[in-house]
Structure 1
Amino acid sequence: MSTGPSSVQELPPPTPLSPGMVLDGFRLEERLHQGGMANLWRVSRVQALPDDEMPLIMKVPRIKGGEDPATIVGFEVEQMLIPVLKGPHVPRFVARGDWTRQAYIVMERIEGESLRPRLDEAPLSVDEVVDIGQRVAAALHDLHRQHVVHLDIKPSNIMFRPDGSAVLVDFGLSRHDHLPDLLEEEFELPMGTGPYMSPEQVQFVRNDPRSDLFALGVMLYHLATGERPFGQPSSVRGLRRRLYVEPLPPRAIRPELPPWLQEVILHCLEVKPERRYQSAAQLALDLQRPESVTLTARAHKLERSGALKAFKRWFFALGHEPQRESASSSSVDQQLSRSPIIMAAVDTQSATPALLARLQETARRLVHAEPGARLACVSVMKTARIGMDELTDAQGRSVHVKQLIALKHWARPISRALSLEDARLTFHVLEAPDAAQAIIEFAAKAGVDHIVMGARANSALRRYLGSVSAQVVAEAECSVTVVRAPG
């Protein structure tokens, strides 16, 4: 094991910091937090920039000598990562200081508290747990699309903007596909926070975005039950127990939890990454639409598996340590590309049989090409902008249910041809006055990677008013394939 980076041996004596001090154009106003690894200061610019009213925070590493070298390397990682991250789910980067004088990071200060105090209020209501899960999953999906695995997802590293969107902070343990992994280069021990570390992190695999989904599953379990699924281990031996000892099912602790939520939580907490959700977008979609969650044996468990199964898992874990070489050949990008959400927008009411068949074949080919893909079959039930909607047909049958049945009937040949697992095939009937807008909004909220939809034959009226497919192509943020009937 390395003793740490060369910078540890060459660090200058730390500069004592105090309120009112000016450092590289930033005035230290108030120390907000003193942690074991870093101090957080509220700062302001000595010379304010025009139209820049963003509140600022400065993060300064605590260097007194004798620190764990991982603390310093972690700060170096964060200095390297924060400037390349973008979007609403990370703090905006402002400046950084060099180690030769005073290391620091100045970034946007997110107002309010982290998620950590909510643990003291757990168990929370189901609606609150689901809402938090959706927002954190959306933030993780955005982070993973920027080639980063966080690897330290926990309540104290999650904050929320006034609009409710989650913000991920503290990237000292993170890994970027396209930047050096300093922690992997310098150390040989697991890195993370005990209760939230995934089984593969315990085995020092640092490149799998599904590790963050495991950590989110631990959070959801705690928020839903008031208890940690794996306790609070402080040794490698204690951490390794999660490779073979499964958590008590949430409904054994809190029976009123819905089976679908237990399904989602235990799906996140599977030991093998390939048995978890394959992307944060897939997890977010289930949390947004629980009626589409397929219930498996996970949903109905009320006790742990027996000692024999635990022994088999323990024995398997002994002989199947991940190979560092094979782990390094994978990446966040590769995992996401293997696990897209493909959305089939199907007009079950008006499309011709020929168009439905062509759409079916196109969707089948797309899913077949992506073994980890999830197919979300979507149909829009048009509702009136003004006035009452007809919720039943002439025979008194629910229009919504009728459309759902038609959607499942359309997808049945695809499911049979590809032997799709239930969890990889979901159905959604959207009620909206504007079909195109409903499709666009669903795709954006669910993190859809590819929309496939049909376009009916041209007519003078459609050319004049525009078409649903044309609007989706123009406004959707993902790839769109438009299919026409033959002839």
Structure 2
Amino acid sequence: MPEYDHTAARSVSEADFLRLFREEAGALLSLPDHPNIARFVTFDAGARPKPILVMELIEGIRCDKLLDARGLTSRTAVALLDGILAGLEAMHAVGVGHLDIKPTNVILRGGREPVLVDFGLAGRHIRPGCATGCYGAPEIWGVVPPGVTATPLTADIYSFGCLAYEILTGRTLFDAPTEVALITAHVTHDGLPAPVKRLADDPRTADIAAFMYACLRHSPRDRATASSLREMLLRITGQLADLRWPLPLDDGRAVRHHGVSPRKSRTGNS
């Protein structure tokens, strides 16, 4: 569990931080026993010097290490994406969002089965600003269209879209020299970021771009659910299997990780 930090908490008092911790840790008790979710063991809000969450230890390889080692094929990338979605589907079924979906929070148990880990931000409420820059939805940074209610579930879907792009291409969705520039890219695009548009313009990857577009819509209410994304993924599995990994992108960018490091660029937990 991250320590209380007044900068990351964005004016939330320590007392409110502890109250939110108790509420959200309690929400984790509702998580189902699922192969793609690390098992929640217990929490202690009174622990010192900071409150703690105790989760199942998952032994395996982290997704970011797998990407760095270029250890995927198109087929294994599909299996990885489906497993992540299955975990989100199970969490969302009980109204709980993960709120920190990124490569370092996915571990492949035994090198094969993806498991969502690190539930330090998980719960039924969004804490503005508590996210990792490369993967945070616009609403995490306080940008929500008028009349739209942001939820942890739709924020997860956006973060998954960023992660899906990275898993399939080996590159983060946006390059940026600073955290501020990175967040600006997320909150100002029209739902079809330029990197995804390049995929959409190529007949070989147009359906894959549509899959990502369903995640990355600017308005939370326009995004797909984890269940519908699994159905979409099933329909494009054959197309993905016929392509080499990582997907070809003629944009002159180096493969992972360029610009702000997703493992250092964060305002939430590590």
TM-score band by shorter chain is 0.5 to 0.7
The offset of 1:194, in angstroms, is: 0.3
Contact 2:162 2:173 in 1 (8 A): yes
- Asked if 1:289 corresponds to 2:230, the answer is no
Contact 1:126 1:224 in 2 (8 A): yes
Distance 2:237 2:44 in 1: 50
Task: Trace 1:60-75 onto structure 2 (pairs within 5 A).
Answer: 68=7, 70=9, 73=17
User: 1:304-354: per-residue Cα shift (whole Å, max 9, x none)?
Assistant: 9xxxxxxxxxxxxxxxxxxxxxxxxxxxxxxxxxxxxxxxxxxxxxxxxxx
Q: TM-score, normalised by structure 2?
A: 0.67
Distance 2:8 2:195 in 1: 36
Q: CA RMSD in A?
A: 3.8
Per the alignment, do residues 214 and 127 of structure 1 end up closer, same or farther by CA in structure 2, a change over 3 Å counting? same
Residue 64 of structure 2: aligned partner? 116
Residue 154 of structure 2: aligned partner? 210
- Asked if 1:175 corresponds to 2:123, the answer is yes
Per the alignment, do residues 142 and 224 of structure 1 end up closer, same or farther by CA in structure 2, a change over 3 Å counting? same
Contact 2:134 2:182 in 1 (8 A): no
Per the alignment, do residues 98 and 190 of structure 1 end up closer, same or farther by CA in structure 2, a change over 3 Å counting? closer
The offset of 1:282, in angstroms, is: 0.5
Per the alignment, do residues 122 and 251 of structure 1 end up closer, same or farther by CA in structure 2, a change over 3 Å counting? farther
Residue 135 of structure 2: aligned partner? 196
Distance 2:230 2:54 in 1: 31
Residue 21 of structure 2: which of 76, 86, 96 is its match?
76
- Asked if 1:224 corresponds to 2:171, the answer is no
SS in 2 for 1:196: coil
Per the alignment, do residues 237 and 258 of structure 1 end up closer, same or farther by CA in structure 2, a change over 3 Å counting? closer
Per the alignment, do residues 96 and 266 of structure 1 end up closer, same or farther by CA in structure 2, a change over 3 Å counting? closer
Distance 2:71 2:142 in 1: 31
SS in 2 for 1:194: coil
Contact 1:175 1:207 in 2 (8 A): no
Residue 35 of structure 1: aligned partner? none
The offset of 1:84, in angstroms, is: 2.9
Residue 374 of structure 1: aligned partner? none
Distance 1:62 1:244 in 2: 31
The offset of 1:168, in angstroms, is: 1.7
Distance 2:112 2:3 in 1: 32
User: 1:230-265: per-residue Cα shift (whole Å, max 9, x none)?
Assistant: 225754454133233323237569x79633223212
Residue 312 of structure 1: aligned partner? none
Residue 148 of structure 1: which of 83, 96, 109 is its match?
96
- Asked if 1:269 corresponds to 2:216, the answer is yes
The offset of 1:211, in angstroms, is: 1.9
The offset of 1:98, in angstroms, is: 4.5
Per the alignment, do residues 149 and 97 of structure 1 end up closer, same or farther by CA in structure 2, a change over 3 Å counting? closer
Contact 1:157 1:168 in 2 (8 A): yes
Contact 1:222 1:229 in 2 (8 A): yes
Distance 1:99 1:256 in 2: 56
Per the alignment, do residues 109 and 90 of structure 1 end up closer, same or farther by CA in structure 2, a change over 3 Å counting? same
Per the alignment, do residues 287 and 156 of structure 1 end up closer, same or farther by CA in structure 2, a change over 3 Å counting? same
Structure 2 counterpart of 1:84, which letter?
S
Structure 1 counterpart of 2:41, which letter?
V
Structure 2 counterpart of 1:269, which letter?
L
Identical positions, percent: 27
User: 1:116-171: per-residue Cα shift (whole Å, max 9, x none)?
Assistant: 21221359432222221111111111110011122211111112345954322222
The offset of 1:190, in angstroms, is: 2.1
Residue 85 of structure 1: aligned partner? 31
Distance 1:174 1:157 in 2: 12
Structure 1 counterpart of 2:121, which letter?
L
Distance 2:37 2:156 in 1: 15
Contact 2:137 2:159 in 1 (8 A): yes
Distance 1:207 1:108 in 2: 26
Distance 2:170 2:111 in 1: 27
SS in 2 for 1:175: coil
Report how many aligned residue pairs link the two structures. 225
Per the alignment, do residues 136 and 69 of structure 1 end up closer, same or farther by CA in structure 2, a change over 3 Å counting? closer
Per the alignment, do residues 93 and 138 of structure 1 end up closer, same or farther by CA in structure 2, a change over 3 Å counting? closer
Residue 133 of structure 1: which of 77, 81, 85 is its match?
81
Per the alignment, do residues 159 and 238 of structure 1 end up closer, same or farther by CA in structure 2, a change over 3 Å counting? closer
Contact 1:122 1:225 in 2 (8 A): no
User: 1:67-115: per-residue Cα shift (whole Å, max 9, x none)?
Assistant: 7573973892563343332221332233333425564333321111221
Residue 96 of structure 1: aligned partner? 43
Residue 19 of structure 1: aligned partner? none
Distance 2:48 2:218 in 1: 45
If you compute each CA radius of gyration, which structure gives the higher value, 1 or 2? Answer: 1
Residue 249 of structure 1: aligned partner? 196
Distance 1:100 1:209 in 2: 29
Residue 314 of structure 1: aligned partner? none
Distance 2:6 2:91 in 1: 30
Greater relative contact order (Cα < 8 A, sep 6+):
2
